[in-house]
């Protein structure tokens, strides 16, 4: 990249920042409307009005604020273990002024007990590959303790199938994740499904999403 291009990019990034503590990430902006359409179908057909939807690894908070403002018949609980992310989630909630979002809670799937005793559905978007495998295992074991029978887990992200990446871009992404942290990496669909089954969840939907991602839906069969 030439110096003027580099400076241009830096200026663009600086200008894109919000004046409050909201973090602005490109990925949620790109995928939020595609995810919302899947959630609309999945949640409306599975849970009742007034149900509580817990998001794990809410990150910036941009996703949950978008979903909550579009699906006002549910209550939404954001969570994240990182302080900076919790501040951003609070700022996003203040910004959208939607009444059906609760304040964010600290939740790391690996730390038992979870600070929430009951939810009707759980969302986890782009988390399990950017965290050790234990985070995925504890996501399902923790979820099995707080979801009712038929309760939903929605996962979104890149997955390999039978150990094979579904696109070159996912293979490159996998290598870059592993170079940042050897415990991270694109997860295999069969491994995730096995963890789900070990915790009495059945995979009920696999939906192909843009940019070689998948939406996976699991229901509790306890
Ligand atoms: C790549 S970000 C994705 C954030 C958001 N879901 C999105 O799609 O924009 C991954 C998030 O997962 C959170 N996270 C990582 N490991 C976690 C764990 N074990 N339990 C809960 N959250 C975790 C991180 O703090 C981070 O906010």
pLDDT digits (tens, 9 = 90+) for 91-114: 999 999 999 999 999 999 999 999
- As a whole number of angstroms, the distance between CA 187 and CA 189 comes to 6
Helix, coil or strand: residue 102: coil
pLDDT digit string (tens) for 176-188?
999 999 999 999 9
Is 85's C-beta closer than 6 angstroms to any atom of ligand 1? Answer: yes
Is 137's C-beta closer than 6 angstroms to any atom of ligand 1? Answer: no
Where residue 216 falls (left for φ over 0; alpha for ψ -120 to 50; beta otherwise) is beta
Q: Which domain holds residue 193?
A: 28-220
Q: Whose CA is nearest to atom 17 of ligand 1?
A: 108
Question: What pTM did the predictor assign?
Answer: 0.93
- As a whole number of angstroms, the distance between CA 75 and CA 68 comes to 7
Locus of tokens 């996501």: 139
| Beta carbons of 17 and 24 less than 8 angstroms apart | yes
- The predicted structure's pLDDT at residue 14: 43
If pLDDT is split at 50, 70 and 90, which confidence band does 222 have? Answer: confident
- Measured in angstroms, how far is the CA atom of residue 93 from the centroid of ligand 1? 18
- Residue 16 within a domain: no
- Which atom belonging to ligand 1 lies closest to the Cα atom of 135? 19
Q: Whose CA is nearest to atom 24 of ligand 1?
A: 57
State mean pLDDT over 13-37: 87
- The predicted structure's pLDDT at residue 16: 54
pLDDT digit string (tens) for 151-163?
999 999 999 999 9
Q: Is residue 200's pLDDT more than 60?
A: yes
Q: Is residue 11's pLDDT more than 60?
A: no
- Residue 180 within a domain: yes
- As a whole number of angstroms, the distance between CA 204 and CA 222 comes to 15
Tokens of 187: 């997860």
Q: What percent of the chain has pLDDT over 70?
A: 93
- Residue 41 within a domain: yes
3-state helix, strand, coil in the chain (%, to 5): 45, 20, 35
**What length does the chain have?**
222
Gyration radius of the chain's alpha carbons: 18
If pLDDT is split at 50, 70 and 90, which confidence band does 17 have? Answer: confident
Q: Is residue 8's pLDDT more than 60?
A: no
Quote the DSSP letter at residue 19. S
If pLDDT is split at 50, 70 and 90, which confidence band does 10 have? Answer: very low
- Residue 22 within a domain: no
Q: Is residue 75's pLDDT more than 50?
A: yes
| DSSP of 151-202 | -EEEEEE-EEBTTB-SSHHHHHHHHHHHHH-TT--PEEHHHHHHHHHHTTEE
Q: Is residue 12's pLDDT more than 60?
A: no
- As a whole number of angstroms, the distance between CA 69 and CA 220 comes to 27
If pLDDT is split at 50, 70 and 90, which confidence band does 63 have? Answer: very high
- Residue 19 within a domain: no
| Beta carbons of 131 and 120 less than 8 angstroms apart | no
Total structural domains within the chain: 1
What does the mean pLDDT of the chain come to? 93
Is 155's C-beta closer than 6 angstroms to any atom of ligand 1? Answer: no
Q: Which CATH number covers residue 47? A: 3.40.50.150
State mean pLDDT over 191-220: 98
Is 54's C-beta closer than 6 angstroms to any atom of ligand 1? Answer: no
């Amino acid at each position: 990249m030439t110096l003027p291009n580099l400076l241009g990019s830096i200026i663009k990034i600086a200008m894109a920042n919000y004046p409050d503590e909201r973090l602005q990430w490109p990925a949620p902006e790109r995928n939020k409307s595609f995810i919302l359409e899947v959630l609309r179908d999945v949640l409306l057909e599975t849970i009742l009005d007034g149900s509580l939807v817990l998001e794990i690894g809410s990150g910036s908070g941009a996703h949950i604020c978008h979903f909550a403002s579009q699906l006002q018949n549910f209550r939404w609980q954001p969570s994240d273990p990182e302080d900076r992310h919790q501040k951003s989630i609070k700022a996003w909630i203040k910004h959208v002024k939607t009444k059906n979002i609760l304040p964010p809670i600290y939740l790391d799937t690996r730390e038992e007990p979870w600070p929430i005793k009951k939810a009707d559905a759980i969302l986890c978007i782009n988390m399990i590959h950017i965290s050790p495998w234990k985070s995925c295992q504890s996501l399902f074991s923790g979820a099995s303790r707080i979801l009712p029978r038929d309760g939903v887990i929605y996962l979104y992200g890149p997955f390999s199938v039978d150990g094979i990446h579904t696109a070159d871009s996912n293979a490159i992404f996998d290598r870059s994740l592993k170079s940042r942290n050897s415990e991270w990496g694109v997860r295999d669909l069969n491994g995730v499904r096995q963890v789900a089954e070990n915790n009495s969840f059945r995979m009920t939907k696999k939906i192909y999403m843009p940019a070689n991602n998948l939406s996976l839906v699991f229901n509790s069969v306890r």
